Structure 1
Amino acid sequence: MDDLIKMVTDRVGIPQDKARSAVELIVGQLKSRLPGPVGSQIDNALSGGNGGGLGGAVGGIGSGQQQQQQPGSRERH
């Protein structure tokens, strides 16, 4: 989780304590709204386990980059 907090601090430009609070709030909300196994995967990803793709999933936050749509996927509004 420290990597994600550092990413938020660097890209959004907020102090580390505020970034930590924001990340903890968001992770808590995700885990409370998603099925149990998905919540476990979030914990695994944040602890540096097999879910190492989490950084890439949020890598565009605050950078002004838009992700390209994958072929065959649908854009949601």
Structure 2
Amino acid sequence: MDEVVKMVAEKAGITEGQAKIAVQVVAGILKDRMPDAMAGQVDAYLKGEGNAKNISDMAGKLGGMFGKK
């Protein structure tokens, strides 16, 4: 999660503490709207156990869930 937090802090121009809260909130919202298996992949990625390709593939599958085609 540290890598994601640093990236968010840098891109948003906020502190790492603020970015960590933002990442946790967004991850929580996403996981609430995903099937459990996919939510587990988000957790794994944030723990450094997953990879960006899995998340990217998953995001493509979820597009319809958020009104995107």
Compute the TM-score of the two structures, normalised by the length of structure 2.
0.71
Other-structure match for 1:52: 51
For structure 2, list consecutive stretches of 5 or more residues without a partner in the other structure. Answer: 57-67
Q: For the residues of structure 2 that align with 1:34 and 1:6, how far apart are their CA atoms?
A: 25
Q: For the residues of structure 2 that align with 1:30 and 1:47, how far apart are their CA atoms?
A: 16
SS in 2 for 1:48: coil
Rg bigger for which structure? 1
Deviation at 1:32, TM superposition (A): 0.8
Structure 1 stretches of 4+ with a deviation exceeding 2 A read none
Q: For the residues of structure 1 that align with 2:11 and 2:46, how far apart are their CA atoms?
A: 18
The one-letter amino acid paired with 1:46 is L
SS in 1 for 2:45: helix
Other-structure match for 1:26: 26
Query: How far does the alpha carbon of each residue in 1:5-31 deviate from its partner, in whole angstroms, 9 at most, with x for none?
Result: 000111111111111111000000011
Query: How far does the alpha carbon of each residue in 1:22-68 deviate from its partner, in whole angstroms, 9 at most, with x for none?
Result: 1000000011110000000111111111x3217x95xxxxxxxxxxx
Match runs of 1:33-48 below 5 Å: 33-48=33-48
Q: How big is the alpha-carbon RMSD for the aligned residues of Structure 1 and Structure 2?
A: 2.0
For structure 1, list consecutive stretches of 5 or more residues without a partner in the other structure. Answer: 58-75
Q: Which has the higher helix share?
A: 2
Q: Between Structure 1 and Structure 2, how many residues are aligned?
A: 57
Q: For the residues of structure 2 that align with 1:5 and 1:52, how far apart are their CA atoms?
A: 16
